[in-house]
Structure 1
Amino acid sequence: MTELAGAPPSTPPRGLLAPTLRTLTIGSVALVSLAAFEAMAVATAMPTAAAALDGISGYALAFGLPLATSVVGMVLSGVWSDAHGPAAPMRVGVAAFVIGLLLASTAPTMAALAAGRAVQGLGSGLFSVALYVVVARAVHPALRPRIFAAFAAAWVLPAVVGPPVAGLLVETIGWRWVFALAAVLAVPAATMVEPALRRLRADAVDDGPAPDRTSRPARRVLWALLAAVGAAGLHQAGQLDGALAGVVGAVALVAVALAGPRLLPAGALLARRGLPAVIALRGLCAAAFFGAEAFLPLLLAQQRGLSPTLAGLVLTGAALSWTAGSWLQGRDRAPSRTTMLRGGTAAIAVGVLLTGSALVPVVPLAVAVLGWLVAGLGMGMAYPTLSVLLLELSAPAEQGTNSASLQIADALFSAVVLAVSGAVFAALIGSGAVAFAATTAIAAVVAGLAVLAAGRARA
């Protein structure tokens, strides 16, 4: 029987570095690493860039815009990939990512830098979703846990070296080279993925009937724009003070509440069994982990007196344990998907609670550090497993749309929980440890919801 050019091979290669997969594996992992490096390095360089361009007032916008445009890029990429295959959105996404970085590197004003960041965010949304569809159509199902584990590991090195490398560049040759370096390195990475894109033929796959959520792509893009405005508004509200912050935050929450359900499969907000639960779990896990992580360095500094360097090492430790969890789920003899999800979500919940124990003076600090390592391990177990399940539960005609929904849930759930946690923290900031206890409780409740939904996310 002749294999379809757009479908994964019927028998798995020996590994991800087998001749038929080597360039795709290396190139796609390199692209994920570059996206991670950009996120880590730009955060380090941005204060200097804002000061040099006399644009401190636009600082929040430079972070909020790429978040917003990435949501639009995800939706566009999902619709585009399902209609015509992932090759075009992958190429356009990488090109937009590079162009946006180059625009930022040459920006004469803060407004121009923010515009470049917006283009870069659109590109990252396009290629991140298209990359999932490439995996679905080019990688055998038996190897998907390994490649998603590799994607998770691709974040570790940038998390460790990104900030110091960016700091060195800023201090020696200037902040503009942080953006330029990421743009230059993206080109060879994209070139390595190109052979796999040329082998994919969207018309070779029996896509079947188009899903309801892609039958009206224009309307879906409009909802994405509203969600993007809401996500950017939530980010902006966190930078404001007083009544204005409350008004902006409330309007942004309404926008997300209206648009979010239209971008997710029916039943996702209730974690209905199957695909909706998979997508809900991705959002819940992300919101719980990143909701706790956002306040962890400040908690360790104010409540336990840790230096920024030591607090950063705690975060690095979680990145390493995340990689370990990803490796665990990618083994040939790994436990079942459901077992991995139950164990992973439980580890996140327990880890958040143990980390919160740092607020109790008599509890050794090592308990909190161990807790965050456990939380990272849980994320490593859950995240790649959810990606694998998503592709297992998606017909070829909806791989792009569902991959977009997975990543949109990640972004929107996290944005909402961070906004709520930030508002609560600001209201209780005069109460010392109580403010940190409240944000920890929010993250723990979200993690608890993930534990309850874990058994529902299965084929």
Structure 2
Amino acid sequence: MFLTGFAALAVVPTLPTAARDLDGVSLFPVVAGCFVTASLLGGVVGGHWADRAGARRPLAAGVVLAVVTLVVSGVSTSIWQLAAGRFLDGLAAGMVAVSVNAAIGQAYPERLRPRALALMSSCWIIPSLVGPPLAGLVSEWWSWRAVFLGLAVLTLLPSLALVVVLRGPSLPEGAPPDDHPSRPPLLIAAVVSLGAALGQYGVSGWDVRHLLFVAGGLGLLVVFAPRLLPVGTWSAARGLPATVMLRGLSSGTYFTVEALIPLMLINERGAPAVLIGLAFTGAAVVWAGASWVQGRMESRPRHLLVAVGALVMAVAVGLAVVGTFNRGPVLIAASAMLLAAVGMGLLAPSLTVLSLSHSPSGRLGHTSGAMQTSQNLGQVTVMALAFATLNTCVAMGASTMAGYGAAFGLLLLPPLLIALLAGRARSTGGRVVAAVHADEPSLTGSGSD
């Protein structure tokens, strides 16, 4: 998990530079969205594989695939190869994240699972401090390719060692027989991932061909995505459906801000890559700090913390809008990433706690899967809408900075909607499980102490 976190946090700040060097800035939504769409499929694949045969095989496969993806991305000669590398990386990340949680559930008794989950979250602390600024320095002084290939070299031997350790019986002792049909969920997840990918490509341009891709992707999402989510999610029905929906809106807003701001600062404001790396580091640190704070507010209703976190994110998006003014300092836009992370640190773990309190007995794994699916769909959908707004403004003759301002203005709507609907996620009673304090986006825990 340490290597996964280091690779994930180090790679993201280099993507705008890589897209620029490969003459693919217009296709940046595809590069940014490929990881998310693939992680949705990878999570379903890893979860069903772990249920059928234990967590060892999908975990080992995900770790090996993660090394391969770094090489594919590092030697990219076109923006499409970089997108393919990010797709494979998302597939690997989804498998690893779900497999790690499944392994903890299979290997540890219930009383030790919270400690194991806390250990997994703590593995992200050092990568968040070191990874982004170091990647920014290497990218600026040497090459963005060195970041990908260097990470591949660093992770090769530990990954092979982990594969050796994971050798053994694939099915844990005492595990139930395979009675889970795997094909329908996997096929649905693959179709949903395809729809998300089509939509991401469609918003990269503004002509009939791109609009057809958008329409096709949207159609697939509308028809098949609800099958992976609780009934009533789209209408924010009280309880778990509303909680799942709010997770998608919050993740979509945050990670779109995290994608748009670096792209704007590097390509339009000429900000150094080191500054972007420091912004990512700061965001990771304040996210963890805000998560720690909410973990100590046990007497506060969780839905109120969700509303407060959403309002903080709305203020952060407002700062991003101000940061699009050419005369303003670049630090204004960069600081929006930090403030948005504060909001997510309050909001995300609170939603996790609420989802577990709403989950029926024996369905915690299914609930966690629904939350992760909603998170990925929210990222894809909100990011696609934001980039579509940006490209539409530019196609209509507006300046690029005006397009960024309009895109950020659109992002004000989801956090305000979250604040308005937070009461629908309110816990109706019962024992609420404490969330892991760091609550990294792909490391949602489901254990209780």
TM-score, structure 2 as length reference = 0.74
Q: Does 1:69 align with 2:38?
A: yes
CA contact (8 A) 2:355 2:367 kept: yes
Aligned match for 2:90, one of 102, 121, 126? 121
Task: Supply the AA of the counterpart residue of 1:410.
Answer: Q
Conserved 8 A contact 2:27-2:204: no
- Secondary structure, in 3 states, of the residue corresponding to 2:411? helix
RMSD across aligned positions (CA): 4.4
What's 1:165 paired with?
A: 138
Match of 2:122 among 150, 155, 160: 150
**2:204 alignment partner, SS class:** coil
Tell me the alpha carbon deviations over residues 63-116 of structure 1, each in whole angstroms, 9 at most, x when there is no partner: 665544332211112223344443332222223223444555678998777665
**Using the alignment, how far apart are the partners of 1:421 and 1:115 within structure 2?**
22
User: Which residue number corresponds to residue 89 of structure 1?
Assistant: 58
Alignment equivalent of 1:291, drawn from 239, 252, 256: 256
> Could you say which residue in structure 1 is the equivalent of 2:371?
406
Evaluate the alpha carbon distance shift between residue 123 and residue 145 of structure 1 in structure 2; reply closer, same or farther with a 3 A threshold: closer
Moved more, 305-314 or 94-103: 305-314
* TM-score (ref. length: structure 1): 0.73
C-alpha distance in 2 between matches for 1:456 and 1:136: 30
2-structure distance, mates of 1:199, 1:414: 33
Cα displacement (A) at 1:262: 1.3
Where does residue 307 of structure 1 map in the other structure? 271
On the 8 A contact 1:94/1:186 being kept in 2, the answer is no
Following superposition, the deviation at residue 318 of structure 1 comes to 3.1
By how many angstroms is 1:307 displaced? 3.3
Query: Closer, same or farther in 2 for the Cα pair 1:164/1:417, shift >3 Å?
Result: same
Tell me, yes or no, if the aligned pair for 2:254 and 2:340 is still in contact at 8 Å: yes
Distance in 1 between residues matched to 2:343 and 2:315, nearest whole Å: 9
Q: Structure 2: how far apart are the matches of 1:58 and 1:427?
A: 14
Q: Distance in 2 between matches of 1:363 and 1:40?
A: 22
Rounded Cα–Cα distance in structure 2 between residues aligned with 1:234 and 1:406: 21
Match of 2:149 in 1: 177
- The counterpart of 1:249, out of the listed 208, 214, 217, is 214
Between Structure 1 and Structure 2, the one with more helix by share is 1
Give 1:396 deviation, angstroms: 7.9
1:187 aligned partner, one-letter code: S
Structure 1 residues 186 and 405, CA gap change in structure 2 (3 angstroms): farther
Which string of whole-angstrom CA distances, capped at 9 and with x for unpartnered residues, describes residues 125-177 of structure 1?
11112223345564746558845753664545323322333555638x95772
Q: What residue number does 1:329 align with?
A: 294
Give the letter aligned to residue 50 of structure 2. Answer: S
Partner residue of 2:424? 456
Task: Say yes or no: does 1:447 pair with 2:415.
Answer: yes
Q: 1:386 is matched with which residue?
A: 351
- Structure 2: gaps (5+ residues): 433-449
- Contact between 1:169 and 1:177, CA under 8 Å: does it hold in 2? no
Q: Which residue of 2 aligns with 1:356?
A: 321
SS of residue paired to 1:295: helix
Q: Where do residues 356-375 of structure 1 align in structure 2 (5 Å cutoff)? A: 356-358=321-323, 371-375=336-340
Which whole-Å CA distance do the structure 2 matches of 1:310 and 1:107 have between them?
22
Shift of 1:378: 0.9
Q: Aligned pair in 2 of structure 1 residues 349, 96: CA closer, same or farther (>3 Å)? A: same
Among the aligned pairs, what percent are the same residue? 26
Change (3 A) 1:120 1:417: closer
List alignment gaps of at least 5 residues for structure 1: 1-27
Q: 1:14 matched to which residue of 2?
A: none
The alpha-carbon distance between structure 1 residues 434 and 450, as it changes in their structure 2 partners (threshold 3 A), is same
Give the counterpart of 2:398 among 406, 425, 431.
431
State the alpha-carbon separation in 2 of the partners of residues 362 and 282 from structure 1: 35
Alpha-carbon distance in structure 1 between the residues aligned to 2:238 and 2:222: 22
- SS of the equivalent of 2:286 reads helix
Which digits, 9 at most, give the CA deviation of each residue in 1:389-436, with x for residues without a partner? 545555685444433332222222121112122222222233346534
409 and 157 in structure 1: CA distance in 2 versus 1, 3 angstrom threshold: farther
Q: Supply the AA of the counterpart residue of 1:327.
A: W
Q: 1:454 to 1:132 in 2, by over 3 A?
A: farther
Q: Is 1:37–2:7 an aligned residue pair?
A: no
Aligned residues: 419
In the alignment, which residue of structure 2 is the partner of 1:6?
none
Q: Work out which of the residue numbers 224, 241, 244 in structure 1 matches 2:189.
A: 224
CA drift at 1:44: 4.8
Give yes or no for contact 2:7–2:151 (8 Å, CA) kept in 1: no
Determine helix, strand or coil for the equivalent of 2:230: coil
